[in-house]
Amino acid sequence: MTNEIELAITITILLIELGLLALCYYRAKQPPNFAKPRVINYALVMIFLSLLFLATLAHTISLITGNQVKPRRRRGM
């Protein structure tokens, strides 16, 4: 029961992140208005949202499979 609630919350967060990515992409592609300069660098926000999306996606995969996603590197280095 708890795992299902966590999965539903995580998927909701994923959808919110995708919506924010789409909004930033739309705003970044609009032509610049010289009378009203942009305060936010949408390309930079998209980079951070992409990293957050990947982390949330890894968390979703770990919730679905039951195994934690681990990096593949040799130990002892």
Percent of the chain beyond pLDDT 90? 57
- What is each CA distance from 9 to 6, 15, 63, 73, in whole angstroms? 5, 10, 11, 31
Burial of 20 (0-12, 13-18, 19+ CB in 10 A): middle
Q: What does the pLDDT average to over 15-28?
A: 96
Note the pTM of the prediction, 2 decimals: 0.78
Q: How confident is the model at residue 66 (pLDDT cuts 50, 70, 90)?
A: confident
Q: What does the pLDDT average to over 12-22?
A: 96
Pick from 19, 3, 2, 7: nearest CA to 60: 7
Give per-residue pLDDT as tens, 38-52.
Answer: 899 999 999 999 999
